[in-house]
Amino acid sequence: MTYVSIEGIAKRFKQPGGGVQTVFENIHFGVAKGEFVCLIGHSGCGKTTILNILAGLDTADDGVLLVGDKEVAGPSLDRAVIFQGHALMPWMTAIENIAFAVSSRWPDWDRAKVRAHCQKYIDLVGLTGAERKRPAMLSGGMKQRVGIARALSIEPKMLLMDEPFSALDALTRGTLQEEVLRLCAATQQTVFMITHDVDEAILLADRIVLMTNGPQAKIAEIVVNTLPRGRTRHDIHKHPHYYAIRNHIVDFLVERSRGFASAIPAGYDPRRPPETSPGTLRAAS
Amino acid sequence: MFATVRAKSALLSILLLALFLGGWQIAATPTAGTGPALDPEYAALLGASAQQGKQTPMPTPVEVGVRIAKHLEAPFADRGTNDKGIGIQLAYSLARVLLGFGLAALVAIPLGFLIGMSPLVYGALNPFIQVLRPISPLAWMPLALYTIKDSATSSIFVIFICSIWPMLTNTAFGVAHVRKEWLNVARTLEVNALRTAWRVILPAAAPTIVTGMRISIGIAWLVIVAAEMLVGGTGIGYFVWNEWNNLSISNIITAILVIGLVGMLLDHMLGFATKLVTYQE
Q: Which of A77, A81, A136 sits opposite B280 (nearest CB)?
A: A136
Optimal mutation site among A48, A96, A104, A148, interface B, most CBs of chain B within 10 A:
A104
Taking the mean position of all CA atoms in its chain, how far away is CA B65?
Answer: 24
Q: What is the reported pLDDT for A283? A: 47
Residues of A in Cβ contact (< 8 Å) with B191: 104
Domains and CATH numbers, chain B: 86-277 (1.10.3720.10)
Min Cα distance A259 → chain B (Å) is 34
Query: What confidence tier does B31 reach under pLDDT thresholds 50, 70, 90?
Result: low
Min Cα distance A249 → chain B (Å) is 31
pLDDT tens track of chain A, all 285 residues? 788 999 999 999 888 888 888 889 889 999 999 999 999 988 888 889 999 999 999 999 999 999 988 888 889 999 999 998 889 999 999 999 999 999 999 999 999 999 999 999 999 999 999 999 999 999 999 999 999 999 999 999 999 999 999 888 888 899 899 989 998 888 899 999 999 899 999 999 999 999 988 788 888 899 999 998 888 888 888 888 899 999 999 998 888 888 787 778 878 888 888 888 887 865 444
Q: Which of A55, A89, A134 sits opposite B188 (nearest CB)?
A: A55
The pLDDT tens digits of the residues spanning B176-227 come to 999 999 999 999 999 999 999 999 999 999 999 999 999 999 999 999 999 9
Average pLDDT, chain B: 89
Q: Which of A81, A85, A134 sits opposite B188 (nearest CB)?
A: A81
Identify the DSSP state of A252: I
Q: Which of B182, B190, B204 sits opposite A76 (nearest CB)?
A: B190
Name which residue leads in pLDDT, A40 or B32. Answer: A40
Tell me the count of A-B CB pairs closer than 8 A: 57
Optimal mutation site among A82, A89, A106, A146, interface B, most CBs of chain B within 10 A:
A89
The pLDDT tens digits of the residues spanning B98-125 come to 999 999 999 999 999 999 999 999 999 9
The pLDDT tens digits of the residues spanning B39-88 come to 667 666 666 554 454 455 688 888 889 888 888 888 888 877 777 888 99
Q: What is the reported pLDDT for A133? A: 95
Query: What confidence tier does B36 reach under pLDDT thresholds 50, 70, 90?
Result: low
Query: Does residue B233 surpass a pLDDT of 60?
Result: yes
Min Cα distance A203 → chain B (Å) is 27
Q: Do B199 and A85 touch (CB under 8 A)?
A: no
Name which residue leads in pLDDT, B90 or B83. Answer: B90
Q: Do A91 and B279 touch (CB under 8 A)?
A: yes
How large a percentage of chain B has pLDDT more than 90? Answer: 68
Residues of B in Cβ contact (< 8 Å) with A163: none
Q: What is the reported pLDDT for B72? A: 86
Q: What is the reported pLDDT for B47? A: 60
pTM of this structure: 0.85
Q: Do B281 and A55 touch (CB under 8 A)?
A: no
Q: Do B279 and A105 touch (CB under 8 A)?
A: no
Q: Do B204 and A89 touch (CB under 8 A)?
A: yes
Domains and CATH numbers, chain A: 2-223+237-264 (3.40.50.300)
Q: Which of B187, B277, B281 sits opposite A57 (nearest CB)?
A: B187
